């Protein structure tokens, strides 16, 4: 499996059989990241109306386009092109500093025997149901920018309880990200021992089950776009 981080909450995950999934594509003009050039098999989004998370219409080719909030509200599971996705409804910060909070979804799926979880755009401490949803997770794509998403203290509690094998941060402030409303990656990393953190000098990592660590480690990627 290969995991490529475009920027913000958008990733390309490609299985060993070539099947590919893009998550939460953004609007380049508002996010500051460049247009996503790849043509995947499936595009998944976590929101119905968030221009930073729901722009599946900007992804070229002829992918299946799945909205995980609709999936969460329609039974919580869907299979598409041989990939089974699960979703749970969540919400932006109840006390969002910029606008009324919107509903969104968190989701997970499996490729190459590796389970992957995506936090969508959640802004609140986890409920018991949300903890259960991410039980036995291998790779966790987490919101690492603090407000206006989940606060970093609450996120660390989630990671400590879920105990994923690998944590890949997303949705934090970078030199390219146009709004200035989030923390830099250093704020997130301050919650970890330096020995628990690895830096990939690239925007893509290749993984197999044998590559997964025995205990939780953080892997910081460079954004591709």
Per the rule left: phi > 0, alpha: psi between -120 and 50, beta: everything else, 114 is beta
Nearest-angstrom CA–CA distance, 23 and 206: 17
Per DSSP, the residues of 120-178 read: TT--SPPPHHHHHHTTT-SEEEEE-S-TTSS-HHHHHHHHHHH--SEEEEES-B-SS-S
Specify the pTM: 0.96
Structure token digits, residue 53:
């998370």
> Phi and psi at residue 72, in whole multiples of 5°?
-60, -40
Q: How many CA atoms lie within 13 A of 221 on its CB side?
A: 26
Domain boundaries, the chain: 2-220
Q: Look up the CATH number of domain 2-220.
A: 3.60.15.10
Each residue's pLDDT expressed in tens, for the chain with a length of 225 residues:
999 999 999 999 999 999 999 999 999 999 999 999 999 999 999 999 899 999 999 999 999 999 999 999 999 999 999 999 999 999 987 777 676 778 999 999 999 999 999 999 999 999 999 999 999 999 999 999 999 999 999 999 999 999 999 999 999 999 999 999 999 999 999 999 989 999 998 999 999 999 999 999 999 999 999
Quickly tell me which residue has 């979880």 as its tokens.
Answer: 117
C-alpha distances (whole Å) from 210 to each of 74, 113, 163 are 35, 11, 17
């Amino acid at each position: 499996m290969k995991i490529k981080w475009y920027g913000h909450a958008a990733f390309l995950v490609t299985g060993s059989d070539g099947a590919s999934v893009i998550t939460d594509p953004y609007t380049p003009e508002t996010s500051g990241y460049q247009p996503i050039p790849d043509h995947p098999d499936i595009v998944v989004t976590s929101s119905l109306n968030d221009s930073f998370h729901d722009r599946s219409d900007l992804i070229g080719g002829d992918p299946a386009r799945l909205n995980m909030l609709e999936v969460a509200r329609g039974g919580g599971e869907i299979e598409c092109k041989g990939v089974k996705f699960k979703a749970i409804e969540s919400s932006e910060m109840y006390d969002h500093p910029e606008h009324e909070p919107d509903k969104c979804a968190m989701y997970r799926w499996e490729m190459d025997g590796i389970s992957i979880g995506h936090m969508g755009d959640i802004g609140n401490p986890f409920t018991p149901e949300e903890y259960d949803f991410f039980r036995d997770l291998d790779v966790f794509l987490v919101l690492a920018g603090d407000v206006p998403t989940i606060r970093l203290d609450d996120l660390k509690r989630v990671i400590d309880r879920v105990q994923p094998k690998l944590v890949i941060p997303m949705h934090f402030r970078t030199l390219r990200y146009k709004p200035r409303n989030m923390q830099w990656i250093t704020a997130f990393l301050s919650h970890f021992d330096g020995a628990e953190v690895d830096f990939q000098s690239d925007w893509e990592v290749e993984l197999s089950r044998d590559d997964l660590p025995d205990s939780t480690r953080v892997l910081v990627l460079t954004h591709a776009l």
